[in-house]
Amino acid sequence: MGRQSSKDKYKLSAVDSIERLPLSEQVYLTLKTAILTGELMPQEKLNEVKIAEQLQVS
């Protein structure tokens, strides 16, 4: 594995498909939690493809 660049320093967990919420709502809640817990920082540039891969969604 190579070094993670500063723009890809966040690591999100895959969305749990067992939840009875629509997938879009699960993704929203995951990102919201990441912001509120400081996992995603203010002004941090997000890579949509990387986020989709980490959450295992398309």
Supply φ then ψ for residue 39, to 5 degrees: -65, -35
DSSP designation for 58: -
Q: How do residues 21-32 score in pLDDT, each as one tens digit? A: 899 999 999 999
Q: What is the pTM of this model?
A: 0.65
List the domain range (segments joined by +) for residue 34: 6-55
The region that residue 10 occupies, defined by phi over 0 for left and psi between -120 and 50 for alpha, beta otherwise, is beta
Asked if residue 22 is part of any domain, the answer here is yes
36-47, pLDDT tens digit by residue?
Answer: 999 999 899 999
Residue 25 counted as domain residue: yes
Does a structural domain hold residue 1? no
Total number of domains constituting the chain: 1
